[in-house]
Amino acid sequence: MIVGTEWLVDAEGCRPELLSDLPAVRATCERILNDLELRTVGEGLAHQFPSPGGITLMYLLTESHLTCHTYPEHRIALFSLSCCRPRPRWDWETQLARLLGAARVTVRCLARGAVVEPEPAAL
């Protein structure tokens, strides 16, 4: 039985000034949540690190969670979206290029809770 899906997304070649801009990172995450019709529990919790100003942002969802970690010095943003109800695939590549200037986006999608029965032992 599959109980959820997790998307692990690496956005590389992003514009560093956007990766250290909390309103821009928050707007990107909220775009993901709105487009996928996910429901937040409270506000997203954010922490901005000292220069170069990377950001960690987490949203608790009724369906699970969304996290984002930015590394302006490496021009990388990492996203993890875990969801326990079926959702369509978001267009990570196009949207992150537009919102953060990503040059390359790698998306891995994992089925969570998929139980694989072991093979019976050979006699």
- pLDDT digit string, tens, across residues 66-120: 999 999 999 999 999 999 888 888 999 999 999 999 999 999 999 888 666 666 7
Work out the end-to-end distance of the chain between its first and last CA atoms, rounded to an integer number of angstroms: 29
For position 87, what pLDDT does the model report? Answer: 84
Q: What is the pTM of this model?
A: 0.89
Q: Domains plus CATH for the chain?
A: 4-112 (3.60.90.10)
| Maximum separation of any 2 CA atoms in the chain, in Å | 63
* Nearest alpha carbon to residue 79 among 68, 90, 63: 68
Candidates 85, 82, 71; CA nearest to 108 is: 82
Tens of pLDDT, residue by residue over 8-54, are 999 999 999 999 999 999 999 999 999 999 999 999 999 999 999 99
